[in-house]
Each structure stands twice: as structure tokens, then as C-alpha cells.
Amino acid sequence: MYLTFDDGPNRGTENLLRILHKRNVCATAFLVGKHVYGSKKQQQDLELLRKDQLIELANHSFTHAHNRYTDFYKNPAAVVHDFDTAKDSLRLYDRIARTPGRNIWRLNNITVTDLKSSKDAADQLKQAGYKVVGWDLEWKPNNTMALKGKHEEMLKKVDSIFFNDLEKTSRHLVFLTHDQYLTDSDSVNELDLFIEKLQKSNRFVFRKISEYPKINEVLN
Ligand SMILES: [Zn+2]
């Protein structure tokens, strides 16, 4: 189980760290470069993430496409440049990346593009040496940007993915949610219970994304 959290540093980052430490599980934070420069608090949260042994940092672009995804992916060179900017700015040198607004995979053995119009940009990221990791399961927000639904439903979805062999690599599940959904006590509690029940089932080990199979092999 690879717990991943996108768009940090953000509201909710500190709550996320509190849950991870309570449960003593590791996770990966896919950071947005510009968020680090959004406020003093976000800069401080980056330093909290950076020094935390349970956390691995990865690249989720500098601008997050300004949330205009269609335009962003039309210009593959600019996409690579945006990831390079985040890499240099945040010192994310292992080149593990996740595309904003798109569930794209470009690893040695896995090529997935959710929207075909992003294909060229994804291929160029791979050519530039990025290992692009999407996700198998997302815990989405409700209309108040809190976690939608209960942990029991998410646990059922985890089971369903394995039962139906829907994970990209057999027996490895990449889980995604966002720091910014962890600002209210219900969401914090639900994520905590989700992790606790995964742990108590004794069926899972938690790993950082750099330990995903074959991710560190040289790309073809
Ligand atoms: Zn994002």
C-alpha cells in the first residue's frame, strides 16, 4: 500500500502528519512548487515534510497547470519545463512525478494515459527521465472539500480493486488523496480509521513510492 497525498504543502498538511505519526505509517507527498511560496506557513510545512522520516517528497509540477489542464498538456516542452522548475526549486532530484489533473503512468513496464490529448506531454516527461506515477484508488472530496463518505466504503474499494485485479502492479495499490481535504475533524478521523483498519487486517505493508516495483530501473 502506497499512501500518496497531492498538492501540498496545503491546508491539512499538519493534520496529515499527525495521522501518519499516530499510526506510524509512511507516505509520499506529491508537492506543487508554487504552493511552497504561497505563504510563510506553507514554507514551514515544507520543512516539516522534508525532515519527516515517514515522508518521501515527489514532484507534482510547479504550477499545477494553473488548473487549466487542456491547455497545459498541449505544450509538452512547457510541461517538462514546469516539472524541471519544481525539481530545481524544491530539490526533488529522484524525478518521481505525478501529472496534475491526469492519471498518467510512465514507468518501465506501465504506460497508462487517461486522456489521449496528454499523451505527447507524458511521453516527453518520460524521455526527460521522469518516472510518472498515477494512482489506483482516490479518496475524493465532497462539495465542502472534506473527504467524501466513510472509511468503510474506501476499505471496500480497496478489496474490490484487489479482487478484480485492477491495480497496475499485482498486489501493489497506489492510494491518493489530498492534504487539503484534511482540515475538519471528521475527515481526519475517517482517514485515521481507514489506516488503522488496513493495519489491523494484517494484509498490508506500507511503502514510500520509491519502493514501487521497478521504479528505479532505467527506463527503456
Ligand atoms: Zn494535484
Q: Could you tell me the distance, in angstroms and rounded to a whole number, from the CA of residue 30 to the centre of ligand 1?
A: 8
Q: Measured in angstroms, how far is the CA atom of residue 72 from the centroid of ligand 1?
A: 13
Q: Which residues fall within 8 angstroms of residue 130, CB to CB, at 6 or more apart?
A: 59, 80, 83, 95, 96, 97, 106
Q: Is residue 196 in some structural domain?
A: yes
The range of the structural domain enclosing residue 89 comes to 2-211
Angstrom distance (rounded) from CA 196 to CA 156: 14
User: What's the CA gap between 136 and 158, in Å, rounded?
Assistant: 9
Residues in the chain with pLDDT values less than 70:
218-220
Q: How far is the CA of 202 from the centre of ligand 1 (A)?
A: 30
CA distances from 114 to 119, 122, 142, 154, 172 (A): 9, 11, 22, 22, 19
Contact in structure between 79 and 72 (CB atoms under 8 Å): yes
Q: How many domains does the chain have?
A: 1
**pLDDT for position 77:** 98
Distance 67 CA to ligand 1 centre (A): 9
CATH number of the domain that residue 37 is part of: 3.20.20.370
Taking the centre of ligand 1 as the mean of its atom positions, its distance from the CA of residue 27, in whole angstroms, is 16
Q: How far is the CA of 133 from the centre of ligand 1 (A)?
A: 12
Q: How far apart are CA 39 and CA 28, in angstroms?
A: 22
Amino acid at 10: N
Whole-number Å distance, alpha carbon 201 to ligand 1 midpoint, is: 30
